[in-house]
Amino acid sequence: MKRHPFEPARLISGLTALTLGTAYGLDALGLWQAPGPWLFLTLPAGLLLSGITAAVWTRTRRPHPHTDATSQKGS
């Protein structure tokens, strides 16, 4: 089986969706009384965190250009 690269932004998005699904399910079954603002703000917060993680992950995984001694200015 081919290995896939690790993508932390997708992990955070998935955990956010799983958390929301579980919270709504427990609320619908009457096992947990979910506070309204908490459920309403969880999705945007999770997506924002996922976006920030994707940006940081892309920035840190980008290969750095090699500097050549002949291409430096002032020489």
In whole angstroms, give the CA distance from residue 7 to residue 56.
11
DSSP-based three-state secondary structure for 70: helix
Task: Give the residue ranges of the chain where pLDDT is below 70.
Answer: 64-75
Indicate whether 74 belongs to any domain.
no
Residue at 55 is within a domain = yes
d(CA 14, CA 63): 27
In a domain, 28, yes or no: yes
User: What's the pLDDT score for residue 34?
Assistant: 84
Q: What is this structure's pTM?
A: 0.73
**Amino acid 70: pLDDT:** 56
- What domain count does the chain have? 1
Give residue 17's domain range: 8-60
Q: How far apart are CA 9 and CA 12, in angstroms?
A: 5
